[in-house]
Structure formats: C-alpha cells, structure tokens
Amino acid sequence: MEHIVTTLPTARQPGCPFDPPAELIDARRHGPISRYPFPDGHQGWLVTGYDLVRSVLADSRFSSRKELMRHHPLIDYGDIEVPPAPPGEFLLMDEPQHSRYRKPLVGKFTVRRMRLLTERIEQITAEHLDAMEKAGPPTDLVTAFAKPIPSIVICELLGVPYEDRGRFQDQIDTFLGGETSDEDLIAAYTATQQYLAELVAAKRANPTDDVLSDLTDSDLTDEELRGISLILLAAGFDTTANTLALGTFALLRNPAQLAALRADPALTDGAVEELLRYLSVAKTFMRTALEDVELGGQTIKAGTTVILSYNTANRDPERFTDPHVLDIQRQDGGHLAFGHGIHQCLGQQLARVEMRVAFPALLSRFPTLRLAVPAEEVALRPETADIYGVKSLPVAWDV
Ligand code: HEM
C-alpha cells in the first residue's frame, strides 16, 4: 500500500541527536518512496531509500533548477514565487549553465591540490588548539575550533580576507541555521551581496594568488563571480564545521569508538567517512521531474518535486549493516553524504583533508576531552536548518 507522509518532522527524537527524525526512519520502513503532499497542496514525493536517492541524483530527467522547486516545506514563504538562481549559484542549476560555473573550479579542488594544503591546515589547527589550551576549560568547541578552521581555509583558498568574516559569516549562519524570519533572510542575503560586490571589485583591481582572482581572468561577469563566491563560502565552512562539532559529540557519546580511534590513528580516514555517513549534516535536497519518470514502482509526473532524504538513505538497512550504529571500522562504504551525480560535492576532498587533520589533532591534544554539560543540554539546530548540527558544544578536559 502507498505510504503517505503528511507532515515533515521539525525535530528529532529526544535523546537521539544523531539519528534522522523518527518519522523519516519510519517512512523508510514502509518503503523507499512515500507520497508527500506539500503544505501548498502540491502532490510531491519523499525518497528515503539509498538506491532510489542515488538513482534520482544520477538522472538528468530530475532538475536542480531553483525555480522549478516547491518552497521548502518547513519554511513559510507565503505566496512568493520561487525565482531562478542568480547567475553563478550553480548548485541550483542544470546543464549547460551548471558546467559553465563548475568546470573552471574543478581543477582547483582536486585531491592533489587539497593534499598540498595539508600543511597549512595542520598549522591552522595547531594554532587553535594552542589557543584552547591557553584559555583552559571549559570552552565552546564550535567557536574555538570547529568553525574557525574550515572558515579560515576557505577564505584563504578563495582570497577572502579572514578579518572580513564578520561581514558574511553570521549572514551565512542565518541562511543555513533555519531559525530566521523572511525579513532577516533577505537582509542577510543583501548584506552578503554587498560585501561580495566589493570583494570582486577589489580582486579585479588587484588580483592576488587565489581562486577568486584566477576567476577574474575569464569571461565570467561580476554578478556571476558573486554567485560563485557565495556558493563556495556558504558550502565551504558550515558543512565541515558542523561535521567536526557534531562528530566530536558523537565520538564522545560512543566511548568504545573514540578509544579505538585514539589507539590507532590509522583508523582516521575510515572514521571520517563513517562520521560523514552517520551524521549526514547536509540532510535533504530537492529535485523536480522534467518529464514523467518511473521510480520505485511509482510514476513521478513531470513538474513534481521530490524531496531526497540523504540522511535516511545513509541509514538504509538494505544498504548498510546495522545502519544506526557508529562503526569507524565499517567495511560497507559508498555513503551519499556528499551527494552523487553532477552536483556531487565540489569541496569533498577539501572537507576530507580538514577532518583528517582536525579530529586526530584534537583528540591527541586533549586525551581527557569530555562534554562540559549533560548530553541532553547540548543545543541542536532544528530540522528547518539546511545544515544540521550543534549550535554550541561545551567541552572540558583535565589540566
Ligand atoms: C562535511 C562537509 C561537506 C558536506 C557534508 C557537503 C555536502 C554536499 C552535498 C550533499 C552536495 C550536493 C548537493 C545536491 O545534491 O544538490 C554538495 C555540493 C557542493 N558542495 Fe559540499 N559538502 C561539504 C563540504 C564542502 C566544502 C568544504 C566545499 C568547499 C568548496 C563544498 C562545496 C560544494 C559545492 C560548490 C557544491 C555544489 C556542487 C554542484 O552543484 O556542482 N562543500 N556538498
């Protein structure tokens, strides 16, 4: 029988901060695809199974174009029509526009290029650990460690002065944090655009050795460069910051896994992949069918929006053994935390290098690291957030 999900959950089960909301796990139990009537009456679908999510992501009959999507079901935009993505914001575009922006970037985010950054990432990490040690416990791991490290790295890579972070970082938190009114969202977007316009103009006038300056030497317009910069800045630190902070929380709540990782740093790469799967902070994206498509025994009519639940796909019992268990030595790889297909995360090698450096450095610097508050008091982002995570993570250690 066809399963219907009538409302999307706005919170997780109390005491289960790492698991997808119970309603979504339940939907997957009924089958990999459920009907989902959007609040505006649109008859959409919710895809929770691994194989189906992956097949939608690989299928060009499903579009990422912003203007074809229904409104985000958990945010009330009133009757505003969804406009097309501004030039350069290629996450929300199809081919050929998508490639026009992604292609010039691909060579700048290769495994080799990112490995060359390792030393700098180690240095930035060590500086933040020194500062934590100097200030002493307790501290908020988000502000002291998880957020600044990926922020500094993406700023240096793009050529954004880190001193300017006050002009975009809080705004980006506003876009992705899921707790903002429409007016605040628009104000945050406008302020960021203003900042990026000044930045692009500065790079054109005085190119330096960074990705944004390189891009000024192409046929991309200022408006396009602003859009690309926004996507890179927004995607480049919040995702990694939340995986680092939530990942530390998850390790602290799984002492056997934490002990295994401390005992054998060679397990780090596997632990990072497992945390990506287990936490899946980039949890849902949407696609709209451009023509009628058969999917999991259902017909998705042209013009219909499907919500893809990456976090339940990554907990699919038909794909992963004991999917709800954090197992850093897991052998069944192939998670979808970075997506799949043409929009698969451009920055995944960067995120991997950052986490492969940051997790072991943190654990070895503070062998007695622990939560400084009861686990249930750790403040979590709501489900309305595009990127899930902790708002702050109070930690302490023996001195
Ligand atoms: C743990 C860290 C990260 C996670 C979990 C993550 C996750 C994702 C996911 C799931 C997508 C695909 C979206 C879709 O299917 O529509 C994506 C796209 C993207 N990510 Fe990441 N990401 C991370 C880090 C980064 C970093 C460090 C960068 C820095 C440049 C980055 C840049 C991008 C860009 C530019 C796209 C759009 C790609 C396209 O549309 O072609 N991400 N990311």
Give residue-wise pLDDT tens across range 130-142: 999 999 999 999 9
User: How high is the pLDDT of residue 80?
Assistant: 65
Separation in Å, CA 132 to CA 140, 142, 360:
9, 12, 15
Pick from 191, 128, 124, 186: nearest CA to 353: 124
- The pick from 105, 239, 272 for probing ligand 1's pocket by mutation, whose C-beta has the most ligand atoms within 8 angstroms, reads 239
Question: Would you say 45 and 300 are in contact if contact means Cβ atoms under 8 Å apart?
Answer: yes
Distance 235 CA to ligand 1 centre (A): 6
Distance 135 CA to ligand 1 centre (A): 33
User: How high is the pLDDT of residue 103?
Assistant: 95
Ligand 1 neighbours (beta carbon < 6 A): 64, 90-91, 102, 154, 231-232, 235-236, 239-240, 243, 281-282, 285, 310, 337-339, 343, 345-347, 350-351
Tokens of residue 53, six digits? 């999510």
User: How high is the pLDDT of residue 114?
Assistant: 87
Residues 107, 201: Cα–Cα separation, whole Å: 24
pLDDT above 90: residue 388: yes
Pick from 114, 135, 151, 124: nearest CA to 358: 124
Instruction: Provide mean pLDDT across the span 308-323.
Output: 97
pLDDT above 70: residue 47: yes
pLDDT above 60: residue 121: yes
pLDDT digits (tens, 9 = 90+) for 216-268: 999 999 999 999 999 998 888 899 999 999 999 999 999 999 999 999 999 99
pLDDT above 70: residue 1: no
pLDDT above 60: residue 285: yes
Distance 223 CA to ligand 1 centre (A): 21
Pick from 141, 163, 160, 152: nearest CA to 117: 152
User: How high is the pLDDT of residue 365?
Assistant: 97
Which DSSP helix (H) or strand (E) runs through 43? strand 43-47
User: How high is the pLDDT of residue 166?
Assistant: 76
Distance 133 CA to ligand 1 centre (A): 32
Residue identifier of the C-alpha nearest atom 20 of ligand 1: 345
pLDDT above 90: residue 184: no
Q: Which of the following CATH numbers is that of domain 22-396: 1.10.1200.10, 3.30.1370.100, 1.10.630.10, 3.90.1720.10?
A: 1.10.630.10
Distance 344 CA to ligand 1 centre (A): 7
Ligand 1 atom nearest the C-alpha of 243 is 1
Distance 307 CA to ligand 1 centre (A): 17
Instruction: Provide mean pLDDT across the span 341-358.
Output: 97
Ligand 1 atom nearest the C-alpha of 340 is 15
User: How high is the pLDDT of residue 174?
Assistant: 73
User: How high is the pLDDT of residue 72?
Assistant: 67
User: How high is the pLDDT of residue 317?
Assistant: 97
Instruction: Provide mean pLDDT across the span 377-391.
Output: 93
Burial of 245 (0-12, 13-18, 19+ CB in 10 A): buried
Residue identifier of the C-alpha nearest atom 9 of ligand 1: 338
Residues 129, 114: Cα–Cα separation, whole Å: 22
Residue identifier of the C-alpha nearest atom 41 of ligand 1: 343
Burial of 65 (0-12, 13-18, 19+ CB in 10 A): middle
Share the mean pLDDT of the chain.
Answer: 93
Terminal alpha carbon distance of the chain:
59
Residues 159, 38: Cα–Cα separation, whole Å: 41
Instruction: Provide mean pLDDT across the span 199-216.
Output: 92
Q: What is the pTM of this model?
A: 0.95
Ligand 1 atom nearest the C-alpha of 153 is 27
Contacts of 35 (CB under 8 A, 6+ apart): 2, 3, 4, 5, 43, 44, 45, 46
Distance 86 CA to ligand 1 centre (A): 18
Phi, psi of 174, rounded to the nearest 5 degrees: -65, -45
Q: Which residue has the higher pLDDT, 31 or 69?
A: 31
Residues 358, 42: Cα–Cα separation, whole Å: 44
Angle at 312 between CA 181 and CA 177, to 5 degrees: 20
Ligand 1 atom nearest the C-alpha of 109 is 30
Question: Would you say 161 and 186 are in contact if contact means Cβ atoms under 8 Å apart?
Answer: no
Per DSSP, what are the bridge partners of residue 140? Answer: 394
